[in-house]
């Protein structure tokens, strides 16, 4: 799925499975896009040849991953097997997970000049922060790495 140019999408009770792309194997959001995964939506089995196996978020875009939604079993050859958040983006996770994803150089989630905000019950085993990025939690039930809470 691709969103850009100020457009957006809301996925509810939806699955994106077994997709591949250069960036953002399952979801690619760029240029002020707004994307929401909610109601247990899943991105699973997706691959990016470059970055963001399940999801790549670029250029001032906003993504919400809510209500039991999961990025699962996705990978990227280079950066952020689960997710790449790049170029002043904002990602909010609430009661959601990024599980069993991998990337060649940066692992599960890579944020670059971006913000990842986790609230509620969130499971993200590993986050890489680079160049003015931040990961914040607002709940003791968030399973973000201790060094980034």
DSSP characters over 34-94: EEEEETT-EEES-EEEEE-SSEEE-SS-EEEEETT-EEES-EESSB-SSEEEESS-EEEEE
**Is residue 62 predicted with pLDDT exceeding 50?**
yes
Q: How far is 69 from 71, CA to CA, in rounded Å? A: 7
Q: How far is 53 from 47, CA to CA, in rounded Å? A: 5
Structure confidence at residue 120 (pLDDT): 67
Residue 51 or 140, more confident: 51
Check: CB of residue 16 under 8 Å from CB of residue 25. no
Q: How far is 28 from 4, CA to CA, in rounded Å? A: 8
**Is residue 48 predicted with pLDDT exceeding 90?**
yes
**Is residue 90 predicted with pLDDT exceeding 50?**
yes
Structure confidence at residue 137 (pLDDT): 46
pLDDT tens-digit map of 7-47: 889 999 999 999 999 988 889 888 889 999 999 999 999 99
Stretch 69-75: mean pLDDT:
91
Q: How far is 137 from 116, CA to CA, in rounded Å? A: 9
Q: How far is 51 from 46, CA to CA, in rounded Å? A: 11
Stretch 79-101: mean pLDDT:
85
Mean pLDDT of the chain: 80
Confidence of residue 126 (pLDDT cuts 50, 70, 90): low
Name 2's bridge partners: 28
Measured over the CA atoms of residue 69, residue 76, residue 140 and residue 134, the dihedral's sign is negative
């Amino acid at each position: 799925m691709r969103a850009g140019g100020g457009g957006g999408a809301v996925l509810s009770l939806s699955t994106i499975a077994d997709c591949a792309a250069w960036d953002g194997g399952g979801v690619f959001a760029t240029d002020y896009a707004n994307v929401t995964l909610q109601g247990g939506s899943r991105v699973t089995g997706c691959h990016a040849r470059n970055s963001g196996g399940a999801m790549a978020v670029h250029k001032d875009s906003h993504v919400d991953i809510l209500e039991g939604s999961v990025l699962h079993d996705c990978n990227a050859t280079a950066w952020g097997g689960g997710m790449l958040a790049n170029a002043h983006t904002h990602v909010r996770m609430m009661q959601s997970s990024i599980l069993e994803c991998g990337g060649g150089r940066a692992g599960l989630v890579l944020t670059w000049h971006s913000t990842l905000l986790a609230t509620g019950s969130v499971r993200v085993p590993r986050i890489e922060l680079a160049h003015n990025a931040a990961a914040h939690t607002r709940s003791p039930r968030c399973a973000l790495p201790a060094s980034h809470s």
